[in-house]
Structure 1
Amino acid sequence: MRQVGVGIVGLGNSGWRLHGEYLAGAAKFCLVGVCDEDAVRLARVGDALEAPQVASFDALLCRDDVELVVLAIPHTLHVGMAVAALEAGKHVVVEKPMCLAVAEADRMMAAAGRSDRLLTVFHNRRWDSDFLTLRQALERGALGDVRVIESRRSGGFYLAMDTPPERSWTLGLDHGGGAVYSRGPHVLDQLLCLTRDVLGVRPTRVFCHTQTVIWPDDVFRATVEFDDGLVAQVEVNMVDGDSGPPRWHALGSDGIYLCRTPTSQAVVTELVGGRAGDERTLDSVSAHAQEVFYDNVHATLTAGAAPLVTVAHAREVVVLTDCLRQSAATGRVVECEV
């Protein structure tokens, strides 16, 4: 088995906890370098991961042993640094969202095409147990003709190590923080996986409202309409915990799906003649996101496998996110073509 040399750029929560800790112990990869503009953080995380500390992004790109670059950086930096890494001949994994604008996504995809290098996006919530359980239920037709899907994510925010909230870019809008860009791509990617890949429908119109409770735009609620009449309600808040509305709620002609929290078991209530019938608790479906994702990245780079997260699908999340932002800014329904 050939190990793939990987360098990580950005050592906040995602770079350290989600990518670094996994890659440092993954047999298929060799963590050959990490870098961060904060020298104290670089030293602390580099020591914790037992990884070589590289002084700058440019220096990381010059290393011959770096085959794959993982970008866990503020969203506004994704396009420039991804393009630079691709043009340097590196394969690239970028944290979600892929970027903040459709034109940026197109620029990144063009750079990947010119360099003939892999570009993929870490949409890790595709392997959440609550999502996989609902996906399996829809694939098996447990609800019949699905007419409503409601998806909600709540809870606190993730901060870079040792960063107080008032200094975190994830809680401000200057670098693409806030609920729409920080958490929104998770629920939107999951929604598109369900509707595009399982139900075979496409979004046509969206309406979105954002609200500031503590931090700028730390709550959003959106309605997404699809070409077959299905309606989805998506909500993200970065304030409270899991005590609010259910994580998933779906209505179909043959059943009602309910999952109250990300860790609770889902229940399907059978509908017979328009009346509630038997309730059935579903076995949860589980997967390890980093293992599934990075095993696929390794197989793509060493054996020509198809990437699980294609840039075309990641771009669709950017398109839908952009529609939400337009709707929130104008207070109007926005037509969308995804």
Structure 2
Amino acid sequence: MGIKTVVVGLGMGKVHAREIRATPGLELYGVCDTRPHRRDEGRGEFGGHVYERLEDVIADENVQLVVLAVPHHLHTEMALATMAAKKHTVLEKPFCMTPEEGERMIAARDEHGVMLSIHHQRRWDADFYHLREWLAQNPIGPLFHMQLSWHAWGPMHDWRATRAAGGGIWYDLGAHLVDQANLLARSRPKRVFAVQNHAMWHQEVETFCRATITYENGMSVVIFTATNAATEMPRWYILGERGAIRKERFGEAGEFEFIQCHGEERHRATLPIELVGPGYYANISAHLNRGEPLEVTAEQALEVIRVLDAANRSAASGDAIDLIEQPDAPRRTRRARSDV
């Protein structure tokens, strides 16, 4: 049949379960949730085995892969338990709450010899997927600046509105944008400076974040996430030494504005966006069944967490946060400067 997979958490987990069920090489063996009504929903839609507790999933020797679609603050301890039971593990993004938690999970993965991956499925969004392909051909020369945004209008709800659970739009959706920026920058993040506010909805989690990331290769990236944006910012704004690429609206549909420069002349064109095929779970299946390379590694997801965490610390302190220690700069924070 395939790799016997159980999805834990039937909020966002329903999305995972549907994709797993449609992926060759994976078998949706069961679902798990502590809430009776969610278990009833899972039994009705997916059938198979239905578990009340993670301990019941771990105890089932038939289970090979566990998907943890649970609130962010629960990721680490639950993943440590599944990996200790020799279960391959997929976590919803973001990976964890702190870099230290990510390091613990990577160490457990290595100790127990299992797969650990994080659901950065936005790598397969059609706009990013094609953008990454185009930029690999160097159509606008070396990149030096990018701006990415993901914004909405309306407060966060349920546990996503609480700081202790890892809520807030920066960790929830900023994780995707940082992951995409890291892949396009092709360099390690070096420094982060961020500003956050709670305007409009006045929740304990931020309603706006602007983070500036400087990479080792000199690239600068500005990322906006907001739940209080009454109008839209460009989804993509990318500058290279021989042109630019821009996309106005969020979503997989639409087109890119593509500008190539020859001296002082600029030539404009549009690049249509076509939908892509199999996504994240197709790669999980290929990795576990055929040994193909894992597309989303825990190490990559840890780099995302380092940036997310640094941005929160920067916003709280007003300082830029150095992610890579310099021999003559033992402190991890320094006052913001114009080159950040």
**TM-score in terms of structure 1 length:** 0.89
Counterpart residue number, 1:67? 64
Counterpart residue number, 1:246? 234
Superposed, 1:108-257 pairs within 5 Å as 108-155=105-152, 165=157, 168-196=158-186, 201-212=187-198, 213-214=200-201, 215=203, 216-240=205-229, 243-257=231-245
SS in 1 for 2:175: helix
Post-superposition offset of 1:274: 3.6
1:312/1:61 CA distance change after superposition, 3 Å: same
For each residue in 1:138-197, what CA deviation from the matched residue of structure 2 results, as whole angstroms up to 9, or x when unmatched? 2111111222100001126798xxxxx3xx11122120010121111100000001112x
1:274/1:222 CA distance change after superposition, 3 Å: farther
* Residues 1:309 and 2:296 are matched in the alignment: yes
Counterpart residue number, 1:327? 314
Post-superposition offset of 1:51: 3.5
State the distance in 1 between where 2:215 and 2:321 align: 13
**2:4·2:26 contact (CA, 8 Å) conserved in 1?**
yes
Residue 28 of structure 1 aligns to which amino acid in structure 2?
G
State the distance in 1 between where 2:261 and 2:22 align: 48
Residue 222 of structure 1 aligns to which amino acid in structure 2?
A
State the distance in 2 between where 1:224 and 1:285 align: 30
State the distance in 2 between where 1:157 and 1:138 align: 34
SS in 2 for 1:209: strand
Post-superposition offset of 1:122: 0.7
Q: 1:76 aligns with which of 73, 78, 82?
A: 73
Residue 252 of structure 1 aligns to which amino acid in structure 2?
G
SS in 1 for 2:31: strand
Post-superposition offset of 1:68: 0.3
Residue 2 of structure 2 aligns to which amino acid in structure 1?
Q
Counterpart residue number, 1:3? 2
Residue 46 of structure 2 aligns to which amino acid in structure 1?
L
Post-superposition offset of 1:228: 3.0
> Of Structure 1 and Structure 2, which has the larger fraction of its residues in helix?
1
**1:6·1:31 contact (CA, 8 Å) conserved in 2?**
yes
State the distance in 1 between where 2:264 and 2:324 align: 34
**TM-score in terms of structure 2 length:** 0.89
Post-superposition offset of 1:53: 1.4
Q: Structure 1 unaligned segments of length 5 or more: list them.
A: 160-164
Indicate the RMSD between aligned Cα atoms, in angstroms: 1.9
1:115/1:130 CA distance change after superposition, 3 Å: same
1:313/1:171 CA distance change after superposition, 3 Å: same
For each residue in 1:12-35, what CA deviation from the matched residue of structure 2 results, as whole angstroms up to 9, or x when unmatched? 1x2012x01122333422212211
Residue 174 of structure 1 aligns to which amino acid in structure 2?
A
State the distance in 1 between where 2:136 and 2:248 align: 21
State the distance in 2 between where 1:110 and 1:139 align: 33
**1:137·1:143 contact (CA, 8 Å) conserved in 2?**
no
State the distance in 1 between where 2:273 and 2:316 align: 38
**2:25·2:289 contact (CA, 8 Å) conserved in 1?**
no
**1:209·1:328 contact (CA, 8 Å) conserved in 2?**
yes
Post-superposition offset of 1:49: 2.1
Residue 127 of structure 1 aligns to which amino acid in structure 2?
W
1:56/1:217 CA distance change after superposition, 3 Å: same
Counterpart residue number, 1:259? 247
Percentage of matched positions with identical amino acids: 29
Residue 153 of structure 1 aligns to which amino acid in structure 2?
W
State the distance in 2 between where 1:70 and 1:96 align: 11
State the distance in 2 between where 1:304 and 1:228 align: 32
State the distance in 2 between where 1:240 and 1:41 align: 33
Residue 66 of structure 2 aligns to which amino acid in structure 1?
V
1:157/1:9 CA distance change after superposition, 3 Å: farther
State the distance in 1 between where 2:276 and 2:160 align: 27
Post-superposition offset of 1:135: 1.5
Post-superposition offset of 1:255: 0.7
Residue 62 of structure 1 aligns to which amino acid in structure 2?
A
Aligned residues: 320
**1:152·1:235 contact (CA, 8 Å) conserved in 2?**
yes
**1:127·1:286 contact (CA, 8 Å) conserved in 2?**
no
Counterpart residue number, 1:91? 88
State the distance in 2 between where 1:172 and 1:157 align: 15
Post-superposition offset of 1:115: 0.9
**1:132·1:285 contact (CA, 8 Å) conserved in 2?**
no
State the distance in 2 between where 1:93 and 1:185 align: 16
Q: 1:16 aligns with which of 11, 14, 17?
A: 14
